[in-house]
Amino acid sequence: MQTVRMTVGQAIVRFLARQHVERDGREQPFFAGVLGIFGHGNVTGLGQALEELGELTYYQPRNEQAGVHIAAGYAKMKNRLQTFVCTSSIGPGATNMVTGAAMATINRLPVLLLPGDIFATRLPHPVLQGLEHPHSQDVSVNDAFRPVSVYWDRIYRPEQLLSALPRAMQVLTDPAATGAVTICLPQDVQTEAYDFPAHFFKKRVWRIARTLPPEQDLDAAVELIKTAERPLIVAGGGVIYSEASDVLGKFAERFGVAVVETQAGKGALPWNHPWNAGPVGANGGLAANRLAAQADVVITVGTRLSDFTTASMTAFQHPDVKFIGINVAPLDAYKLGALPLVGDARATLAALAERLAAAGRRVSEAYRQQVASLKAEWDSEVDRLRRERPGQRLTQANVLGIVNDAAGPKDVVLNASGSMPGDLFKLWRPVDPKGYHLEYGYSTMGYEIPAGLGVKMAAPERDVFVMIGDGSYLMMNTEIVTSVQEGYKVIIVLVDNGGFQSIHGLQMSSGTKSFGNELRFRDKTTGRLTGPYMPIDYAANAASMGAVAFKADDEASLREALRKAKEADRTAFIHVTVDPEVRVPGYESWWDVPIAEVSGQASVQRARAAYVEARKRQRFYY
């Protein structure tokens, strides 16, 4: 058998560079490169291999967590068919990636993490930046990745790569099981040599098949749908990942089924598609939520059915509602007691359409008219919320409308946290399946700017509008430097509302007085953070990192700043202030946030009474 003598670090780089994926006849490399920060735990092993072999492009993020966010944003934009490797040293560099790993796993986004680890020999112990555990010498900080990774391994011997790396690839390329894959690399093992079989480094193509449910399950679903009077489709991210938008749109039109969207599924149909009733759930709109409340058959497609989508199990109120779950992941297909259709979204919808046509499913004219009426009412409400108020301060809704007007049909808006996910969900009007990018599985503060860079790297032909609040910006903004360094321009719009106004609003609506959520000076008299708002020059901060920076405080200045930002030759930053007290309302929906059962505050007592009453609408589905 022919062998190749290489170090573990070199073998990893060569193996990963030879991995490809194929779906629908289109083949491409699976890894777009390596994102990493070097330390003593990886620089002489994996770092040396990357430099010597030059087979994977290396990118230099400013923070290890941000590197994972870049990879996740890229993978999401590429419909999970490509991603990055992320590497760190042992210790704080490794644990910085844990949050990113959780975010990737929760959102089912493939990322490969290669943190350095303690010495396999255990001779230099405790190693610098290593955890010294009193009950075991086999524990390191990298064990923290176990619960947030879909596959976890530690390489103690070079030959273990022969089984670990193929297993990692199998998980990463499995649409039903993908997420963060972590392979821990003891720093001494990274540098050890081994005679690897030459065939281990041959090009390998991982084919992603479009699986179909069993025929009897499809037939059972047809029986439910063909007689439904008020059918509803809940479109999740799986619709977009499987590139099922065209099939979904034709299905809705042909069989008269309204479509409502989750955060991950928004954009699956254009906002102005006649059967697209808009966002559903706790952050949803009035059309979708009214249709959900009355639906007798609900077809969920590619959604995790989080508490926001189901409005904490209050969204679907028909007494005899039935569910059909279309999903590549059995875990999700079976939720809500659904008839599970475990399969690819596009292939499964097409198979259902063929059977429904033969069964003679007809469109209900009365239902069509109701959907059209509700949609028109909702569109009018969105127009009202987005409309500027002459002579008054801009609201967040105004800003989103103005940025939406400036964005082209193929451009991308990106966000993850604060009050903006809910407002974008209601107010943004995408016409392209990849035009709306929200990370709302983990809602990770700090995701926005690095993930925006990842999206731009995946789609350099599109403008990427990173919408971010001041609270999230202060947590992780340094990937502005990376975007300038690499020449990937993003347009960052910072909406300054003086702190964590999303949770502040939730706090106040729950009966509690304002406490700890606004960005204010400490009042010297009371000792509380209730003084004036802190004046922070965010534009100057962004400019110091190389961005072209602008300030805006009204409609005219914001539109002009957006015009200049689109013309800029590098990353552009716009600081816009808004009225923090003007919020987008909720629409006939609810989110389960428990209220203190005992309190001396009358406002909390009233909020608790309303909470107890609202919980009566919650249901278990079997």
pLDDT tens-digit readout, 143-191: 999 999 999 999 999 999 999 999 999 999 999 999 999 999 999 999 9
CATH number of residue 246's parent domain: 3.40.50.1220
Question: What is the spatial distance between Cα 301 and Cα 340, in angstroms, rounded to a whole number?
Answer: 11
441 close to 264: Cβ distance less than 8 angstroms: yes
Q: Could you tell me if residue 307 is inside a domain?
A: yes
Which position has the higher pLDDT, 131 or 23? 23
Give one DSSP letter per residue of 65-93, joined into a string.
HHHHHHHHHHHHHTTTS-EEEEEE-STHH
Q: Could you tell me if residue 590 is inside a domain?
A: no
Q: Note whether 240 and 143 are same-domain residues.
A: no
Domain count, the chain: 3
In the prediction, which pLDDT does 261 show?
A: 98
DSSP E strands in 89-217: the ranges are 111-117, 151-154, 180-186, 193-197, 204-207
Which pLDDT band, with edges at 50, 70 and 90, does 618 fall under? very high
**What range defines the domain where residue 490 resides?**
387-498+534-577
Q: Could you tell me if residue 357 is inside a domain?
A: yes
Question: What is the spatial distance between Cα 418 and Cα 398, in angstroms, rounded to a whole number?
Answer: 17
The last residue of one of the domains, among 335, 355, 378, is: 378
Tokens matching residue 476: 């992780």
Walk across the sheet containing 19-23 and list its strands.
26-29, 19-23, 204-207
The last residue of one of the domains, among 165, 183, 207, is: 207
Task: State yes or no: pLDDT of 473 exceeds 90.
Answer: yes
Q: Note whether 229 and 312 are same-domain residues.
A: yes
Q: Could you tell me if residue 391 is inside a domain?
A: yes
Which pLDDT band, with edges at 50, 70 and 90, does 325 fall under? very high
In the prediction, which pLDDT does 18 show?
A: 98
Task: State yes or no: pLDDT of 505 exceeds 90.
Answer: no
The residue count for the chain: 622
449 close to 466: Cβ distance less than 8 angstroms: yes
Q: Note whether 18 and 118 are same-domain residues.
A: yes
Task: State yes or no: pLDDT of 469 exceeds 90.
Answer: yes
Q: Note whether 38 and 180 are same-domain residues.
A: yes
Task: State yes or no: pLDDT of 108 exceeds 90.
Answer: yes
Phi, psi (5° rounding) for residue 403?
A: -65, -40
Task: State yes or no: pLDDT of 581 exceeds 90.
Answer: no
In the prediction, which pLDDT does 380 show?
A: 97
Q: Note whether 180 and 269 are same-domain residues.
A: no
Q: Note whether 54 and 165 are same-domain residues.
A: yes
Q: Could you tell me if residue 452 is inside a domain?
A: yes
In the prediction, which pLDDT does 316 show?
A: 98
Residue 568: CB atoms within 10 A of its CB come to 15
440: Cβ contacts below 8 Å, ≥ 6 apart: 263, 264, 306, 308, 416, 421
Q: What is the pLDDT of residues 2-57, one digit of tens each?
A: 999 999 999 999 999 999 999 999 999 999 999 999 999 999 999 999 999 999 99
Question: What is the spatial distance between Cα 483 and Cα 398, in angstroms, rounded to a whole number?
Answer: 28
Nearest to 581 by CA among 415, 397, 421, 446: 397
In the prediction, which pLDDT does 158 show?
A: 98
What number of H helices and E strands is found in the chain?
22, 23
Task: State yes or no: pLDDT of 502 exceeds 90.
Answer: no
In the prediction, which pLDDT does 559 show?
A: 97
Q: Note whether 181 and 251 are same-domain residues.
A: no
Three-state secondary structure call for residue 94: helix
Which pLDDT band, with edges at 50, 70 and 90, does 513 fall under? confident
Cα-Cα-Cα-Cα dihedral sign, residues 45, 51, 53, 58:
positive
In the prediction, which pLDDT does 498 show?
A: 86
Three-state secondary structure call for residue 220: helix
The last residue of one of the domains, among 333, 353, 378, is: 378
Question: 196-200, 381-385, 504-508, 592-596 — which is least confidently predicted?
Answer: 504-508
Mean per-residue pLDDT of the chain: 96
Which position has the higher pLDDT, 182 or 499? 182
Question: 104-108, 201-205, 218-222, 603-607 — which is least confidently predicted?
Answer: 603-607
Q: What is the pTM of this model?
A: 0.97
Which amino acid is located at 253 in the chain? E
Q: Note whether 187 and 275 are same-domain residues.
A: no
What mean pLDDT comes out for the span 96-102?
A: 98
467: β partners = 493
What mean pLDDT comes out for the span 245-272?
A: 98
In the prediction, which pLDDT does 585 show?
A: 92
In the prediction, which pLDDT does 3 show?
A: 97
Q: Note whether 40 and 84 are same-domain residues.
A: yes
Phi, psi (5° rounding) for residue 315?
A: -70, -35
**DSSP assigned state of 265:** T
Q: Note whether 17 and 157 are same-domain residues.
A: yes
Rg (CA), the chain: 25
Q: Could you tell me if residue 611 is inside a domain?
A: no
Q: What percent of the chain has pLDDT over 90?
A: 91
Helices 479-486, 448-458: inter-axial angle, 10-degree rounding: 20
